[in-house]
Amino acid sequence: MAEFQSNVISHLLGWLENNLDQPLSIDDVAAKSGFSKWHLQRIFKYTTGHSLGAYTRARRLSKAAVALRVTNRSILDIGFLYHFDSQQIFTRAFKKQFSQTPALYRHTADWPLIGLCPPIRQNITKVPKPDFIVMPETRLVGVTNSYFGTLEKMDDFFSHDVRTPLWHQYFKKTTSLPPSLYGLNYLVPSEGHKGDMIFYYTTAWKSGQLQDSIREGQPVMLGGGSYAQFTYEGPADGLQNFIIQVYDTAMPILGLTRRQGHDIERYYLLQSKPQCSSPCILHCEYLIPICN
């Protein structure tokens, strides 16, 4: 019985995460679980250590905090999206969780990740741990592409693999690969009407490491400074989920503040040929610029 209840809660957590912008009453959630609302609240607290209402509210505020940083939507619209009845109610709840108003949170140059409530993932027990490094400025050669996304489809947007097609543009032009390659990414609010945010992704390498037939690259300066370096080794299609876990769990737990600049993906290739086995296995250092 305990295993059955745990499985129900695990399924329910995933459903909640995908429906935080929906009007989720306790009766709706109970109906989804198949339990009475009284029993559901008891087993949710027993299984997760959190009350259902407080957890849902904290996750909604965490989603709202991300929306404040990566979109230009009004504070009122973001509050309504996550079902706060007025800007005053939203501001009061937000300040209680993040110790500052939504407006100040949005306009602070650096992004403090402390205050974000990590989603509960019952099937994951190991949280990524970083090494803290200081990296000098590095000159690279690269090509930048941009992609527009909307807030409602943010999770779907990042589930698509934008990296592999871009790298294959260069792999097909060369018969051997350098020891390492770089991916630089940056997410910013959109100023136009194509979407809420723009995702810039730069495929880059050190000058002279790829063959002369690849000529479209432009000079790129890799910013120096302090970084939290997380290491991933596994299937290529698991990298984005790893990055999400770094941001929504590891960084808040560590109380880190992200400073301005690109996130850096540094790939150490496990084979000398561009052909990739199935599934493709990556060794990637993911570096996030942080404040000291």
Distance set, CA 270 to CA 175, 274, 282, 283 (Å): 15, 10, 7, 7
CB under 8 Å to 127, separation ≥6 — which residues? 245, 249, 250, 253
Kindly list the structural domains of the chain, giving each domain's residue range(s) and its CATH number in brackets, ordered by start. 2-108 (1.10.10.60), 131-289 (3.20.80.10)
Q: What is the pLDDT along the chain (292 residues), one digit of tens a residue?
A: 567 788 889 999 999 999 999 998 899 898 888 889 999 999 999 999 999 999 999 999 999 999 999 999 999 999 999 999 999 999 999 999 999 999 999 999 999 999 999 999 977 778 999 999 999 999 998 889 898 988 887 776 666 667 777 777 666 666 666 778 899 999 999 987 778 999 999 988 887 665 544 556 788 988 899 999 999 998 888 888 899 999 999 999 999 999 999 999 999 865 555 555 555 778 999 999 999 8
